[in-house]
Structure formats: C-alpha cells, structure tokens
Structure 1
Amino acid sequence: MRTALLQSSGHPGATVGNLKVLDEAAGRAAVSGAGLLVAPELFLTGYAIGDDIGRLAEPADGRSADAVAETAARHGLAIAYGYPERDGDTVYNSAQLVSADGTRLANYRKTHLYGGFERDHFTPGERTVVQAELDGLTVGLMICYDVEFPENVRAHAVAGTDLLLVPTAQLHPFEFVAESLVPVRAFENQMYVAYVNRVGQEGEFEFVGLSALAGPDGVARTRAGRTEQLLVADVDPAFLAASRAANPYLTDRRPGLYGSLT
C-alpha cells in the first residue's frame, strides 16, 4: 500500500485552516497513488496552543472528524490524523483513522504523556493496542512518546500489526529517536512504522521533522528533512512476509521469562 506522510505543523490554533492543509495534501497524495495519508500529532489544532487545547477539543465523531471523513471519501484514500479528543469533561491526545470511504475505523488515545505540557492538558489513554484492517494490512495506532516504550510496540507485534502509524510531535534535541530508534523498532518487531512529525518552531517547542517510513529490515523507505514535506513510499506485504520468515525475533520469544517486566 502506497503511504503518504504529511510532515507539517499546519496553522497552530486554526482548525479550519488545518483541514484545508489536510485536504490539499490528500489531493496530492491521491494523485501519487497513495491509499493512506498520515498527518502528525495534534495536527487539527496545533500542539503549542496552551489552554486552547481544551477549547478546540472535539468528540471523535465531531464536526472536524466529519470534515476529515469527507476529505478521505472525496479523494479516495484513508487518512490518519492527530487531534485533541473531548469525551465529556475529559480531553485526550488522540489519533483517528478513517477509511477511503470516510468510515471511522479506529480511534487511539495516547497512553504515555510527555512532559508537563501534555500532563497539564490531557488524560492518558488506557488501551495500548488499537488496530484496524486496511487494504489487507493490520494497521495499528500509536502517538509519539508511546513508540519509545518497547513494550508498547512489542504488544502490537504480538497482536499482528503490520503497519504502525505514529503521528508525532518530536522535539529537539531528541533527533536520535527519529533517526535511530524508530528503524530499530521496525526491525525488532518485524513491521513497518510510519513516524510522521511536526516541523519548525511553535512557542517554546522546536519540532525536528525527520519523518520516516521504516521497514522490517530497519531501513527507512523515505526520510524527510526539516522542512514541510509530503513523502510517499510503499508498504510491501510480500517483503514483510519474507522478512518475518527470515527473522526469528518473534518466534524465539520466551514470554514465561518476562513476568518481572510487569
């Protein structure tokens, strides 16, 4: 499945403007033959917007979700995007996946919040593995800091995730996460990982870009720089199957020895 990665911070604080950016990117991705477009963490609202997070948060089936679904259906490709989700009085840092016909397939709430800003504005989710079927692939969702916990990604591997989508807001000076850790996660768990970052300065935060689609061989199929970009690369199910057959990590596990981890 051809996968497009939208490395962009959009317009912080301007949901309508960000929906337009997403629509334009979806059009370009569809022309390239992509069946899936992935946008960064909190893309619909922006990240560094302080208490506006709560004001702009919407339900998973709110107006902005409907607008994304309409965009997906009009361009004929699935879309995964980050947004602040309101559920009653609770706000989550969430990511949602919609299909190419606009059906909402999966909604994930970030389980590991990073730093004081996120802990002040969000409640952590409690469900680690969220998946959906898309074009014959088992697609999983995760957000930024979550991927830095090996137990999280291994749980997806054990559950059969083929392609892990990671909308991200990854900061300087932690470039090594994008450059080194993400390809290793893909290799040790025998999956594709689409790591899609914000870019540039937002308030006190400097986002480093470096988005990538890493394969099960630990090699990035495409890698962004530090500017706004739309990248496209392929997720190859046949290569994934061959890689899993050749790599014994998952079959050689001894779960009975790992009880002390929990």
Structure 2
Amino acid sequence: MPIKLALWQGESVAGDRGRALSEIARASRAAGQMGAAAITFPELFLSGYERDDLGELAMTQDEVAGHLSPMAQRAACAICIGYPERLAEGIANSAICLGADGQVLANHRKIQLFGQTEATRFVAGDRYTTFALAGRKAAVLICYDVEFAPHIAALQGQGVDLILAPTANMRPFEHVGHHVVPTMAANHALSIVYANYCGREAHLEYFGESSITGPDGRMLARAGQHPCLLIADLPDDYEPAHLSTQSRDFRQVAP
C-alpha cells in the first residue's frame, strides 16, 4: 500500500536530552499532522553522537520507550530514533522504533561499528531487526550498517522492502549519501530512509543531505545542509521492469 514517510534532519543536541525530546515531540507531531506513518531521526539523537559522556547519557530501552511512547501516540506517527542503550555489558549504539500506538516495534543495535572510537565505546549488535510498519516489512540499520551490501541483501531475502536508517555521517564521506544509499536501494529493490545530522559537533562536520529513496533508486526527497523535516510519499505501484532482479538473476561463480 502507499505510505508517507518522514525524517528529521537536525543538529546534535550536545548532551541536552530536554532539547532532544522537545525536537522529537515537535517534529513527530508535524509529521503526524501531514499523514506520515513514521518519522526517523538521526543516530544517537537523544544524546548527540561525538561525546565522551555517553556512559552518563545512556538509557535502557524501557526508559527511552517511557519518554517516546506518549509522543508517538499524540502524533499518531511511529518514531524511529537512535540512542545510547545501557546494557549490563556496556553501551550499544541503538535505535528504537515505536508504533503510532506507543508500543515498541523494534530495537536494533548497530552491527558495523565505525572505526576504533566506536569499537571502544560500544558493544556491537549481532542480529537483524525486522518488523511490520503500515503494511510493509521494515528493518532498522544504523549508519555504517546500511553501507554493506550483504546486510541489505540478507534483509531483502527476508522480504524487507523498507529500511529506516538513523545516521551520523560526516565530511568527507558525502559519497555515501550521494551514491551508496541510492545504489543500495536500487540494487536490492527496496526503499531507504536515511536520516542524517547537519551542522558541527566537536571536530565533526556533518554533511546533512538526508534522503528518502524509492526501490528504483530515485530520491523521492532530499535535504540540504540545514535542519528540516522531510516528507515523501512512497507509492506501491512501481513498474516491475524498473526494479532490480539481481537477487533472482545472480549467478555464483566458483573461485
């Protein structure tokens, strides 16, 4: 069925949880008023990404759900957002998705930790996270996760046709937003909501340019370099001849 999707591209809240919750409430309410089934926020949006105090800012899944569940219900819109998740064994770089009824739909832990800093800060996830969203089979991948074709192919093989991707991507990696994300969508015939930061945080400069890409690889909506609410209609009547059949056509060649 057709679905309207939204994302919020914003600046880091720099550890200010109250500011984060205020932005989430405003953006999700606006998205819901415009008929969006779901809104996606950036990676670690509840805390900020480049911080040394994530241990102090981390919350359990239940604590995050307690904050966000009433917002999703008031907005009548599902919310997907990144946060530092407190675990017994450390902190995970996680993203939670709550349905428009306030119930937890999914909680994904980032599989592909980026660089030595993330590897030191976080416990890596070890599984995919799929769920039903407005008649679609959806999944969550976080930032670097979505750059790995084997992960996209595995999800597509499970019937996933929509990926929500909270992201914290910075210069000089603009090519990921420009080329990698739409290519992943096109090659695997699924849609990707890529919600990035904009502005600066510590030594990082985020390139923004969040996007909503259809299964034919075309960007249905794309942001610039400033905070914005992005919304796009994702139709369900794509011409089959315009969609990739790589998963069916691939021929394994012996090494």
Which TM-score applies when normalising by structure 2?
Answer: 0.95
Q: Given the alignment, which residue of 15, 18, 24 partners 1:16?
A: 18
Contact 2:189/2:243 (<8 A) preserved = no
Contact 1:10/1:17 (<8 A) preserved = no
Query: Pairwise CA RMSD of aligned residues?
Result: 1.6
1:36 equivalenced with 2:38 (yes/no): yes
Q: Look up the match of 2:94.
A: 94
After superposition, residues 1-262 of structure 1 pair within 5 angstroms as 1-50=3-52, 52-62=53-63, 64-127=64-127, 129-239=128-238, 242-243=239-240, 247-254=244-251, 257=252
Query: Which moves more between the two structures, 88-97 or 167-176?
Result: 88-97
Distance 1:251 1:171 in 2: 35
Distance 1:172 1:143 in 2: 17
Distance 1:253 1:217 in 2: 18
Unpaired runs of 5+ residues, structure 1, are: none
Contact 1:190/1:244 (<8 A) preserved = no
State the secondary structure of the residue aligned to 1:68: helix
Distance 1:246 1:28 in 2: 32
Distance 1:141 1:244 in 2: 27
Report the Cα offset of residue 252 of structure 1.
1.4
Q: Deviations over 1:186-224 (max 9, x none)?
A: 000000011110111100111110100111111100000
Distance 1:198 1:237 in 2: 29
Return closer, same or farther for 1:81/1:136 CA change in 2, 3 Å cut-off: same
State the secondary structure of the residue aligned to 1:86: strand
State the secondary structure of the residue aligned to 1:250: helix
Distance 1:227 1:107 in 2: 28
Report the Cα offset of residue 238 of structure 1.
2.8
* Identity between Structure 1 and Structure 2 (%): 36
Which TM-score applies when normalising by structure 1?
Answer: 0.92
Q: Which runs of 4+ in 1 moved over 3 A?
A: 242-247
Unpaired runs of 5+ residues, structure 2, are: none
Contact 1:37/1:77 (<8 A) preserved = yes
